[in-house]
Structure 1
């Protein structure tokens, strides 16, 4: 029995959609889907209709693309938290675990291990100390970098994405604090928890839309053994203070080799692979 993870399936990309349909069966294993399935609800339905038949259990967290409110067409016009709650309800209709559900225990380990899916967003704090918050987006624009979230990821009913992020962080901290210290936690989020893992050589100022400094010390504050995340499209395994950090994104067509199939990019989270 294994726990796998992948993120950033981006099913608006035809090659990604076809590759997902060809994914083999892992009927004894669980899968983490760490955000950015796609931009529309039909893409989430498509993914879950396949993945819930391929795996014994699926755990989902939202990415920023999942929360977009697209103009025109037949897409839902729900915004912000209402859009998020719609996605949660879609997941629940497939029996998929979300950040709003009780955290499950991983049955494949002798030590109690909690799988904790999160939804935290970002607050523009992944920036140099000399850049004021009020000038952060303008600072990114100096290098022609602006995230599409600024136009179609609405924070409704919160006054800003920063306020939404801080509310989600406070909510999550309370839940994590209830987990006994004798347990191990696998933390699952779309965005990285630490700024140092935002590896964006071509567009470094995109870091604004990649997380919050409020989570920098979570891997030591809570009994965390593994952190799973995506968003960066830079697959990596790192260790900090004895905690393993796994960036598990697939990405756009240019980011992966189609000959390997999506199965070639499933990251084994538990049990920890040798080496």
Structure 2
């Protein structure tokens, strides 16, 4: 039997209706399959564990890369940083039966690309500093700005190797290129461009020879082929976003 590969992101199980959606997934249909989760489940570790455990009982392998919401420190001790939160997220993922590590399925490499935005898509405006929640909900070590955060995470991807792989599937939470945002998106929403991703993600996935890249963050479901790579976003999204998110699992490949 073929192994199917499914993709999903931005599940936001802080919303009860979204967690119920997870719980309502079949416990029998995906036993031989792989699920890629491209970040933004919840900033609450207990809920993260519950959500991942639900997926782990349904899929043969659950692969996860954190998003920005996952490292928020809202309501936590004032000395606690989002780097410490990331470490706790990583430990919670492994305890819950999922993985943040590269995975090989025969000759196919699944490579998680840790990332953050580094303003390579544009410099943030004063308005963006005021409205973007990460600037209030994340807390980094003193002197550590978004560009330092991006470098910290993306430098860790340099250890990845595609040697011996006939096919590479990469995944990140953040966007690897700004042209993944459709042209119809209004100028009002383009205010967010600087915090959507990094061109360095694109460099890294190309270096690995990726043929499929799964991303999240934008809540705009899309599948597009660009220069030999298929880029896929399949967000569950917030309740009420059905216009731009399909709110269903998406099979992106069969092995």
Instruction: Output the TM-score relative to the length of structure 2.
Output: 0.88
Q: 1:251 aligns with which of 229, 234, 237?
A: 237
Aligned Cα RMSD in Å? 2.3
Q: Which 5+ residue runs of structure 2 have no aligned equivalent?
A: none
1:21 partnered with 2:23 = yes
**Residue in structure 2 matching 1:209, options 179, 185, 195:** 195
User: What SS is found at the alignment partner of 1:269?
Assistant: strand
Q: Secondary structure at the match of 1:81?
A: helix
Aligned to 1:180: 163
Query: 1: distance between equivalents of 2:113 and 2:205?
Result: 14
Q: What does the per-residue CA deviation read over 1:13-58, in whole Å, with 9 as the maximum and x for residues that have no partner? A: 1211111111112111111111000121122012012111111111
Residue deviations 1:155-193 (CA, integer Å, cap 9, x gap): 237611210201222221x223x3227532111100111
Residue 220 of structure 1 deviates from its aligned partner by: 3.4
Is the CA contact (8 Å cut-off) linking 2:72 and 2:138 kept in structure 1?
A: yes
Name segments (4+ residues, structure 1) moved above 6 Å: none
What is the aligned counterpart of 1:167 among 141, 152, 174? 152
- Tell me, yes or no, if the aligned pair for 2:52 and 2:97 is still in contact at 8 Å: no
**Structure-2 change in CA distance of 1:126 and 1:70 (3 Å):** same
- Tell me the secondary structure at the aligned position of residue 103 of structure 2: coil
- Preserved contact between residue 115 and residue 201 of structure 2 (Cα < 8 Å): no
Match of 2:35 in 1: 31
Count of aligned pairs: 246
C-alpha distance after superposition, 1:171-228 (max 9, x if no partner) = 21x223x322753211110011111113443411111111112233444333111000
Can you give the 5+ residue segments of structure 1 that lack an aligned partner in the other structure?
128-132
Distance 2:4 2:65 in 1: 19
Contact 2:63 2:99 in 1 (8 A): yes
1:96 is aligned to 2:91: no
